[in-house]
């Protein structure tokens, strides 16, 4: 289709236009203004800038950065410039070659690569050069692409392709491509496409780099081509009558058929083209006259013409499309960059860009008023002054006077209890401060004239404005990731209980996991639970609790639980999943609100998962009973529980929120009259969770006009504490607040069916039963709640103070001595002439001071507002009465009397939010560990309180649990447990639900079921491993994110955030018997998370192996493999492998040390390096493994052979001699395995010596 109606240099278009149906017609008169585009106007030119050196050189290369919001430009003078954001603000600019032009630019994680005809420059984005590579092989280089995480492939007008490792800066391989050379390189998931200047495109294998196919595109020359999906589109020149002319047809090739399909006509002379990534069928085509056309490659009918005119008088030389498909950049010979933007709001270069590092702003000195005498001169930095030079501010000694630090004020509570003998006063030490600890002078810090200066230093140090020192056991713990395996946790945990590591995303829930574990009924329920659902939090709690039972003092990881937690859609909908990619938003997270939402979520999730499991088991039993009663007789199946693994989800529709309290509806309205049906429904929907936490609540909606009642019954698993809005200063006990929270009353307009209109309605809630475990959310995420809690603590301490004063006055009036008069009544003997600072006596004209409210006072510590024991009495009307129990009340018999129900509760767990600074906030848990847990770890004693701060565990007194300083220690969650809990909830023995049936329930979830490549032989029922038998094991892993590290001043790398490893393959090999060395487990683990690096060189895992749609392996779920490993651990087999400590850590399974035989430790001398499996196999066995890549079956077999070889050496008594020889050979060979010829000779020599 020819189109000659537009001249790019004219200002009007004459005669030829397009109508809505794309039909050309002649307009009889006039001329039409030139628009900048035809069609739907999807893009518009938003920026045109003259680049650095643009007045002399044209733009030879433009590239969008794939990691940051940057646009890179290289010109024909060897200069590279980057521009930040769509505003095209210059970021960095530097010269990469003095004379040669920049042919191509490529960005990677650490920097950029710039290619010139004879050199390759590696540069940091900030402009700092890393290295410049030149060699005799670099001749007329033209293009390059990245083919692996560390390698690029370079081509040019020469007969070689160069494989270059840009990490080491070395050329690793030269490939012959013919005399035509290579002008364009493009990467496809199946091929590497290399185009030469003569119209030929060669398809290379990405692994072997050998030519697989050849395509002939144009008879003249190839101008450009691009690849997307299964299509390859080219533009170029054809030979017509002996001359080269631009071909108006785009050639299209389909990789599936390996042949050309229908060409695409265009209305411009195509010079450059690029696919639009988000539109697989759209191509942007640019002509040498500055016209750009968007073409659809798969449209069945003629589409609307979409044509743009670039605002330039020069020929375009290069173009690129941003990864987000929202920007197109074009560079021309006149030194300009033209940026086209889509009409999408908030358009950006990348969908997910990391933050760009900018230069630090120059700090300016604070301005000081000329007449401001109170500003400290220390805020102005001083230059270096020699020691013998005096400053202008130097004062002679006769004008100086030595003064001492003023004595800190004494707490009034201490002064009241002080006894005076002569001139010396004595009082008990409250032990609330450390030796020589002096609080900051808050008067000076709050001075408005000096506040700005004092805050500056503290903020730079990351310190807090809080004058109270936070104990170390409460602070957020941070450990170096580089030495994780060498960490000594002994200083952090001197108890027999273990904590949880805090180096995983969403580890804020560790505190709640500890509380749930030390709830004996929840622990017993979880350990006895097992279902077929892949991502079941109750199952993951069971696995985690098993590790906590068997791991004494060594902290465990909750990685598998958090992995399943991230897949729950309700957790994501409630905002409980914190992204690890944006640390700034993570710092702004309200942890108080988050942990309370998590508390509500986990109780309902456990309830619905256990309910779903029970219903599934009942339906399975019903199905089996029907099958057994069938006339065909009973059928025996080899595998049981055939629904393993299941993709079923929980019943999401059961979630319901009402006024901040999540409810589970268990019956219909009372007016329905179906009482028997309701009772049946209640029983069917009951679970262990609802029997423990459930409170049956009756909601009554009463119309105040017609007195019509509508009743609704529900089960409440958790309660939110509700405080009075204007309750500050009014005395209310904790029991009164809890009573109003359990049975609230309010009046609100609501619809009345009888009145047929909105009427004032009284909403009442009454309890019908009390729970065995009472879970409370404290709120405290706003200032009103904190003010109420603080006021109640102040009122309580004030009452105690008044009682103490009355007792003191009474004793003084009776003639008793020993305590002085209060400071409010006794005058200072010096009167107005008193010059003592902080004088505790009253002076003339001074108002009587009220008692100072200080949370550090001993009274706040000994008289908490939160009780540790309460009793809740429920009467027949549904009202509750709550009272605090003293220790003496607990010894009395508990009488219910005429009450409907009466329960005594003990405080079992408290979650607190700790604020050390704005940047450092964390959660801690106080747990009252029961007697059974102490007996389980071999310790004697009754229940005791412990503070769990991730992996730090500390024994604390009971008073510290209920003492709160709301400036840095805020209560979030409270757990109370029935003091007389029925024994049915805590069985003495829990049967292990993991049996040998897990081997029969294994299923492959890949589409082809892995039938093409079965690499293992399942265990028979007669060869199940027994205690003490050997099983060789190996595992392979992939990474889900990139490791973040920084370069320290001493030149060493410090890990900021380690890479998150995920298990990808697990192999277990028989260790004895006729089938010794034959694998019985070889599972590839399916993952739903995005894999950052498959680590193919070290793991052997290829892209697609873990995808159920494409994998040809035996693909299964992590839970299925985990159950098989747990069964082997529980029966007591011994695992043989190399580096098993890391394998079990990533799998997140605990194996007792006596069941691990690690060859990396067997063949190791103290204070020497660890030796690789490959070198051990070559040295002792004379075999070469891992030549190309790793294979877990090969590694497991090799580890088993090495262990048997070690037993032979031990039998001969030459283990030490063999190890010394091993290290001697290893050092001489620099721990590398030689080639085949040299390997045989050296191994025979070393074997003879041994």
**Local structure of 511: helix, strand or coil:** helix
The stretches of 473-630 forming alpha helices (DSSP H) are 510-517, 520-527, 537-550, 559-567, 569-573, 583-587, 591-628
Only one residue has tokens 């009167």, namely 831
Beta strands of 618-705 (E only): which ranges?
657-658, 661-665, 695-703
Q: Is the dihedral of CA 307, 310, 315, 320 positive or negative?
A: negative
Residue 1036 is assigned to a ligand binding site: yes
Cα–Cα distance measured from residue 1092 to residue 1133, given in angstroms and rounded to the nearest whole number: 34
Q: How far is CA 9 from CA 13, 53, 58, in A?
A: 11, 25, 20
**Long-range interactions of 145-149: CB distance < 8 A, separation 24+:** 145/106, 145/185, 145/186, 145/187, 145/192, 146/106, 146/108, 146/187, 147/187, 147/192, 147/206, 149/1093
**Secondary structure letter of residue 997 according to DSSP:** G
CA distances from 867 to 557, 862, 864, 997 (A): 33, 11, 7, 49
Cβ neighbours of residue 539 under 8 Å, at least 6 residues apart?
529, 530, 531, 533, 1119
Question: What CA–CA distance (Å, rounded) separates 1130 from 1152?
Answer: 10
CA-CA distance, 542 to 1196, in Å (whole number)? Answer: 29
C-alpha–C-alpha distance, residues 710 and 703, integer Å: 9
Give the three-class secondary structure for 1149. Answer: coil
Distances (CA, A) of 745 to 169, 660, 730: 75, 15, 19
Nearest CA-CA partner of 876 in 853, 909, 899, 895: 899
> With the CA atoms of 938, 940, 943 and 944 taken in that order, what torsion angle do they form, in degrees rounded to the nearest 10?
-90
Cβ-contact 70, 336 below 8 angstroms: no
Contact assessment for residue 122 and residue 131, using Cβ atoms and an 8 Å cutoff: yes
In angstroms, the CA 820 to CA 836 distance is 20
The reply to whether 1195 sits in an annotated binding site is yes
d(CA 1192, CA 1176): 16
Q: How far apart are CA 1102 and CA 1013, in angstroms?
A: 15
CA gap 1191, 1069 in Å, rounded: 13
Q: What is the dihedral of CA 1199, 1205, 1211, 1214, to 10 degrees?
A: -110
Helix axes 510-517, 520-527, angle to 10 degrees: 90
**787 exposed, middle or buried (CB, 10 Å; 0-12, 13-18, 19+)?**
middle
- Cα distance between residue 940 and residue 938, in whole Å: 7
Q: Please name the helix (run of DSSP H) or strand (run of DSSP E) that holds residue 889, with its range, or none.
A: helix 887-890
Give, in order, the Cα–Cα distances in Å from 407 to each of 402, 410, 445, 835.
Answer: 15, 9, 18, 13
CB atoms within 10 A of CB 162: 22
Distance CA 557, CA 499 (A): 9
- Helix residue spans in 336-449 (DSSP H): 412-416, 442-445
Number of residues assigned to the chain: 1250
**Binding site per annotation, positions:** 1034, 1036, 1143, 1195
Q: Which residues are annotated as a binding site for a divalent metal cation?
A: 1034, 1036, 1143, 1195
């Amino acid at each position: 289709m020819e189109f000659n109606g537009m001249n790019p240099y004219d200002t009007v278009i004459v005669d030829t236009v397009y109508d809505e149906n794309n039909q050309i017609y002649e307009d009889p008169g006039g001329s039409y203004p030139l628009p900048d585009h035809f069609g739907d106007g999807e893009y518009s030119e938003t920026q045109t800038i003259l680049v650095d050196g643009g007045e002399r050189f044209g733009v030879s290369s433009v590239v969008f950065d794939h990691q940051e919001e940057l646009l890179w430009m290289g010109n024909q003078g060897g200069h590279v410039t980057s521009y930040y954001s769509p505003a095209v603000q210059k970021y960095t600019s530097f010269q990469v070659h003095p004379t040669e032009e920049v042919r191509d630019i490529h960005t990677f994680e650490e920097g950029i690569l710039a290619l010139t005809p004879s050199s390759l420059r590696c540069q940091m984005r900030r402009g700092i050069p890393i290295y410049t590579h030149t060699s005799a092989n670099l001749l007329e280089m033209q293009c390059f692409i990245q083919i692996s995480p560390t390698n690029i492939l370079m081509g040019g007008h020469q007969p070689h392709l160069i494989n270059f490792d840009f990490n080491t800066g070395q050329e690793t391989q030269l490939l012959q491509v013919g005399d035509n050379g290579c002008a364009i390189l493009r990467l496809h998931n199946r091929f590497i496409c290399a185009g030469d200047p003569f119209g030929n495109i060669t398809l290379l294998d990405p692994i072997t780099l050998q030519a697989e196919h050849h395509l002939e595109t144009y008879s003249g020359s190839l101008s450009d081509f691009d690849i997307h999906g299964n299509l390859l589109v080219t533009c170029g020149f054809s030979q017509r009558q002996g001359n080269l002319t631009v071909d108006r047809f785009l050639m299209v090739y389909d990789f599936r058929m390996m042949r050309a399909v229908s060409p695409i006509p265009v209305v411009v002379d195509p010079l450059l083209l690029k696919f639009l990534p988000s539109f697989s069928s759209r191509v942007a085509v640019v002509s040498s006259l500055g016209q750009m056309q968007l073409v659809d490659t798969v449209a069945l009918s003629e589409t609307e013409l979409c044509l743009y005119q670039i605002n330039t008088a020069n020929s375009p030389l290069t173009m690129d499309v941003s990864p987000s498909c929202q920007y197109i950049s074009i560079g021309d010979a006149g030194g300009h960059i033209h940026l086209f933007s889509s009409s999408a709001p908030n358009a950006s270069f990348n969908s997910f860009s990391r933050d760009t590092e900018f230069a630090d702003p120059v700090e300016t000195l604070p301005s000081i008023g000329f007449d401001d005498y109170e500003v400290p001169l220390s805020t102005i930095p001083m230059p270096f002054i020699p020691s013998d030079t005096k400053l202008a501010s130097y004062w002679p000694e006769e004008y100086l006077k030595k003064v001492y630090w003023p004595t800190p004020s004494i707490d009034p509570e201490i002064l009241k209890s002080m006894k005076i003998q002569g001139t010396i006063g004595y009082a008990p030490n409250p032990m609330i401060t450390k030796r020589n600890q002096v609080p900051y002078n808050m008067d000076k810090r709050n001075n408005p004239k000096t506040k700005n200066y004092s805050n500056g230093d503290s903020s730079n140090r990351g310190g807090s404005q809080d004058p109270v020192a936070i104990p170390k056991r409460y602070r957020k713990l941070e450990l170096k990731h580089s030495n994780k395996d060498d960490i000594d946790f002994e200083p952090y945990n001197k108890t027999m209980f273990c904590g949880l590591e805090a180096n995983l995303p969403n580890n804020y829930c560790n505190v709640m996991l500890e509380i749930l574990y030390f709830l004996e009924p929840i622990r017993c329920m979880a350990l006895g639970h097992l279902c077929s659902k892949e991502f079941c939090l109750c199952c993951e709690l069971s696995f985690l609790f098993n590790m906590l039972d068997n791991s004494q003092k060594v902290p465990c990881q909750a990685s598998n639980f958090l992995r399943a937690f991230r897949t729950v859609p309700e957790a994501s909908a409630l905002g409980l999943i914190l992204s690890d990619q944006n640390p700034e938003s993570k710092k702004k997270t309200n942890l108080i609100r988050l942990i309370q939402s998590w508390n509500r979520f986990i109780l309902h999730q456990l309830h619905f998962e256990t309910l779903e499991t029970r219903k599934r088991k009942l339906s399975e039993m019903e199905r089996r009973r029907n099958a057994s009663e069938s006339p065909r007789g009973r059928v025996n199946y080899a595998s049981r529980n055939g629904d393993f693994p299941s993709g079923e989800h929980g019943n999401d529709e059961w979630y319901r929120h009402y006024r901040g309290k999540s409810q589970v509806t268990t019956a219909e309205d009372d007016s329905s009259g179906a009482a028997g049906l309701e009772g049946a429904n209640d029983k069917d929907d009951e679970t262990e969770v609802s029997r423990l936490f459930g409170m049956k609540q009756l909601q009554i909606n009463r119309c105040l006009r017609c007195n019509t009642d509508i009743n609704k019954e529900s089960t409440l698993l958790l309660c939110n504490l509700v405080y009075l809005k204007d309750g500050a200063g009014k005395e209310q006990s904790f029991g009164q607040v809890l009573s109003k929270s359990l049975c609230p009353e309010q009046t609100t307009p609501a619809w009345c069916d009888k009145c047929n209109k909105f009427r004032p309605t009284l909403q009442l809630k009454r309890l019908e039963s009390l729970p065995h475990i009472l879970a409370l959310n404290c709120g405290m995420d706003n200032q009103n709640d904190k003010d109420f809690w603080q006021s109640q603590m102040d009122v309580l301490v004030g009452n105690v103070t008044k009682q103490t004063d009355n007792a003191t006055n009474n004793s003084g009036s009776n003639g008793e001595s020993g305590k002085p008069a209060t400071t409010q009544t006794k005058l200072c003997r010096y009167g107005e002439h008193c010059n003592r600072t902080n004088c505790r006596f009253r002076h003339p004209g001074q108002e009587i001071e009220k008692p100072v409210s200080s949370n550090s006072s001993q009274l706040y510590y000994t008289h908490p507002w939160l009780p540790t024991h309460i009793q809740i009495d429920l009467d027949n009307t549904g009202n509750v009465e709550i009272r605090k129990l003293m220790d003496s009340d607990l010894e009395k018999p508990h009488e219910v009397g005429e009450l409907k129900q009466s329960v005594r509760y003990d405080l079992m767990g408290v979650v607190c939010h700790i604020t050390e600074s704005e940047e450092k906030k964390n959660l801690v848990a106080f747990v009252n560990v029961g007697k059974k847990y102490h007996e389980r770890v071999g310790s004697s004693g009754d229940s005791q309180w412990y503070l769990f701060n991730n992996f730090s565990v500390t024994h604390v007194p009971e008073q510290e649990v209920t003492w709160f300083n709301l400036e840095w220690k805020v209560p979030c969650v409270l757990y109370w447990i029935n003091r007389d809990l029925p024994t049915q909830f805590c069985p003495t023995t829990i049967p292990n639900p993991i049996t040998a049936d897990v081997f029969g329930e294994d299923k492959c979830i890949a589409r082809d079921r892995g039938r093409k490549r079965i690499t293992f032989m399942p265990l028979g029922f007669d060869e199940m491993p027994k205690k003490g038998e050997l099983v060789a094991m190996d595992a392979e892993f992939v990474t889900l994110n990139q490791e973040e590290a920084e370069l320290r001043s001493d030149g060493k790398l410090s890990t900021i955030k380690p890479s998150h490893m995920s298990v990808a393959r697990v192999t277990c090999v028989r260790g004895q018997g006729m089938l010794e060395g034959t694998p019985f487990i070889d599972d590839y683990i399916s993952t739903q998370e995005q894999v950052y690096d498959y680590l193919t060189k070290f793991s052997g895992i290829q892209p697609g192996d873990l995808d159920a749609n494409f994998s040809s392996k035996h693909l299964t779920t992590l839970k299925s493999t985990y159950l098989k490993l747990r069964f082997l651990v529980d029966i007591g087999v011994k695992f043989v492998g190399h580096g098993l400590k890391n394998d079990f850590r990533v799998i997140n399974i605990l194996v007792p040390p006596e069941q691990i035989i690690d060859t990396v430790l067997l063949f190791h001398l103290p204070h020497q390096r660890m030796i690789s499996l490959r070198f051990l196999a070559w040295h002792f066995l004379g075999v070469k493994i891992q030549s190309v890549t790793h294979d877990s079956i090969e590694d497991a077999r090799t580890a088993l052979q090495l262990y048997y070889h070690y037993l032979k050496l031990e039998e001969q008594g030459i283990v030490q001699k063999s190890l010394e020889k091993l290290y001697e050979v290893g050092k001489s060979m620099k721990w590398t395995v030689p080639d085949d010829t040299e390997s045989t000779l050296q191994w025979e020599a070393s074997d003879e010596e041994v």
